Amino acid sequence: MIIFKDVTKTFQEDFWKKKKFALENLSFSLEENKVTGFLGRNGAGKTTSIKILLDLIKPTSGSVEFSKALGKNLSQVKSQIGYLPERPYFYPNLTGKEFVGYLLSLNDKKLKNYQSRFNDLAQTLKIDHAIDRKIRGYSKGMLQRIGFISSVIHDPRLIIMDEPLSGLDPIGRKELKEAIIREKNAGKTIFFSSHIVPDLEEISDNILLIDQGKKIKDSPLEDFYSEVTTEVEFIVNALPEKYSDKFFQNGDHYRGKFDINLKQEVLKEIVDKNIEVVSVNPIRPKLEEISYGDYL
């Protein structure tokens, strides 16, 4: 969908100081119909990357290439992008519905043509009760919800969000994550940054991790765990005698943890004894618990 190619961005505070690198030869691509989580500590270069991607600022060197599926020129491409900045501005004297309608009009579209989609999004995000109220009375969570609706109401193919889950309570994060997954299931490509690593792990297909403007890792989420997953958990409906000391009863089932290299051996024993396997799951550490956590 997008190729970020050898992008470098430097800033110079004044003539006498050396240039500072916000990004240094950063390259990555966004896979179509995937959710890509953008990770990195404060100052890593995430917001700068997003602004360059959106053509809000220019790179010092390098380029951003867009798929033809987004359009033949930059104007068409931008009409296919939905963007939610980290600190959006809301007109306080407009209602939520008027605000969304105003932003739609900037894209040469009318809310009445998108009324069904607007109602559906408002209900999904539990803000339908407040769409006719002035924005000045909205809470932080309500602002984040109406901001998300504004960024996706025009049915864009690419959705870009900078810290969309920031400041939301657990229920608000859950609702917004569900809305993001719905957009993905509708065929959208989603790129978003977040400091809430467990939330990002929950909904991302791919992870892009950067530090000091340089790429540390860019791969499917599973690849982050492949080198560190060393154990596997079996859940079965009866106790395997050979490994009875390795299993413990948990409700109606038995759980046992084994070195991942013993997975096939244990599985064969269980199957040979006609014991029903409820599940076999690798025990994965969280991103903060593995070496990449040093960059978060």
Does residue 167 carry a pLDDT above 90?
no
Confidence class of residue 277 from pLDDT cuts 50, 70 and 90? very high
Tell me, what's the pLDDT at 286? 76
Tokens encoding 2: 């997008």
When pLDDT is averaged across residues 238-261 and rounded to a whole number, the result is 91
What is this structure's pTM? 0.82
CA atoms in the 13 A half-sphere facing the CB of 217: 18
Tell me, what's the pLDDT at 293? 63
Tokens encoding 109: 């579209």
Q: Which residues contact 281 (CB under 8 A, 6 or more apart)?
A: 232, 233, 235
Q: Cβ distance 39 to 200 under 8 Å?
A: yes
- CATH T-level assignment (fold) for domain 228-295: Alpha-Beta Plaits (3.30.70)
Tell me, what's the pLDDT at 214? 94
**pLDDT by residue (tens digit) across 200-215?**
888 999 999 999 999 9
What's at 229, amino acid-wise?
T
How do the domains of the chain map onto residue ranges?
A: 2-225, 228-295
Tell me, what's the pLDDT at 172? 86
**pLDDT by residue (tens digit) across 97-137?**
999 999 999 888 899 999 999 999 999 999 999 999 999 99
**pLDDT by residue (tens digit) across 20-49?**
999 999 999 999 999 999 998 888 999 999
Q: Over the Cα atoms of the chain, what is R_g?
A: 23
CATH number of 2-225: 3.40.50.300
Confidence class of residue 94 from pLDDT cuts 50, 70 and 90? very high
**pLDDT by residue (tens digit) across 235-244?**
999 998 899 8
Does residue 294 carry a pLDDT above 70?
no
Tell me, what's the pLDDT at 296? 63
Does residue 227 carry a pLDDT above 70?
no
